[in-house]
């Protein structure tokens, strides 16, 4: 349990001349919930996408459960993994985006069984059983045969969470999962995430939901301009921030 589930060491990422991540270093322990806060453009979502190699980092190291993300090391050299190897590693990391990205022509159940069957080779019966369990877990046991167009935004996002959980990930990444939802639908999604936190799921959450970060987070990280400005327990960061930039940001959102 002493091994970090996620470890970032001086991670850099640029898009052309724009340096988005300027040396991010942090650790997430197993069963820990880390909430990333910060203004738009601070690099939070880019960092999340680097964790599962949706974006390739330019410098530094990223490890998930002790293994390099996207690369293998031989001596002093790094070699990028083949796409197939990256895809298999990615199955260990669940990701929930702002937009739900469900297949519109598939029911909720079909959306959830798709990846276990076709990526992991899970037999259909076992995949369906797991999917039913996960949809029940997110409060959608009565929506198995509903299509995305028949579901609210909050319900679609909960299907997306069930889809990620069906792969039995070691680590869950959430990229502002409630930002595209109507305000009255946010609570159901946050309740599911609180349940995952209580159950010991290791999570990294990019969010503007300060209440969730305060209640469910073990660690809060404030990012600005591609850097980690401040990190600490939620109570310490929210009630007694050390840095002026953190105080300025929190004064606008609290």
Give the pLDDT confidence score for residue 2 in this predicted structure: 52
Decide if pLDDT at 41 tops 80: yes
d(CA 139, CA 156): 12
Q: Is residue 1 very low, low, confident or very high in pLDDT (cuts 50, 70, 90)?
A: very low
Which structure tokens are listed for 81?
Answer: 């993994």
Q: Is residue 161 very low, low, confident or very high in pLDDT (cuts 50, 70, 90)?
A: very high
Bridge partners, 68 (sequence order): 63
Mean of all residue pLDDT scores within the chain: 94
Q: Is residue 3 very low, low, confident or very high in pLDDT (cuts 50, 70, 90)?
A: confident
Give the pLDDT confidence score for residue 204 in this predicted structure: 98
pLDDT above 70 covers a percentage of the chain that reads 99
User: CB count, 10 Å around CB of 233?
Assistant: 12
73-124 pLDDT per residue, tens: 888 888 888 888 888 888 899 999 998 889 999 999 999 999 999 989 999 9
Residues 6 or more apart whose Cβ sits within 8 Å of residue 60: 8, 9, 10, 11, 12, 23, 24, 25
What average pLDDT does range 204-219 have in this prediction?
95
What average pLDDT does range 6-11 have in this prediction?
97
9-40 pLDDT per residue, tens: 999 999 999 999 999 999 999 999 999 999 99
d(CA 129, CA 165): 13
């Amino acid at each position: 349990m002493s091994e970090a589930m996620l470890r970032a060491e001086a991670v850099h990422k640029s898009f052309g001349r724009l340096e988005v991540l300027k040396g991010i270093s942090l650790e997430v322990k197993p069963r820990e919930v880390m909430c990333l806060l910060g203004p738009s453009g601070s690099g939070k979502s880019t960092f999340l996408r680097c964790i599962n190699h949706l974006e390739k980092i330019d410098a530094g190291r990223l490890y998930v459960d002790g293994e390099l993300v996207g690369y293998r090391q031989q001596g002093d050299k790094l070699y990028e993994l083949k796409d197939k190897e990256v895809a298999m590693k990615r199955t260990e990391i669940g990701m929930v985006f702002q937009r739900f990205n469900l297949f519109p022509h598939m029911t909720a159940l079909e959306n959830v069984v798709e990846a276990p069957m076709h990526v992991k080779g899970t037999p259909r019966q076992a995949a369906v059983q797991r999917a039913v369990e996960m949809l029940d877990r997110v409060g959608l046991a009565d929506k198995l045969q509903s299509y995305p167009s028949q579901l609210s935004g909050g319900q679609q996002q909960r299907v997306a969470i069930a889809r990620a959980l069906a792969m039995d990930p070691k680590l869950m990444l959430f990229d502002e999962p409630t930002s595209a939802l109507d305000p009255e639908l946010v609570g159901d999604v946050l309740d599911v995430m609180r349940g995952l936190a209580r159950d010991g799921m290791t999570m990294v959450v990019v969010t503007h939901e300060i209440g969730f970060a305060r209640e469910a987070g073990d660690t809060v990280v404030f990012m600005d301009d591609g850097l980690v400005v401040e990190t600490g327990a939620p109570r310490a960061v929210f009630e007694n921030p050390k840095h002026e930039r953190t105080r300025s940001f929190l004064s606008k959102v609290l």
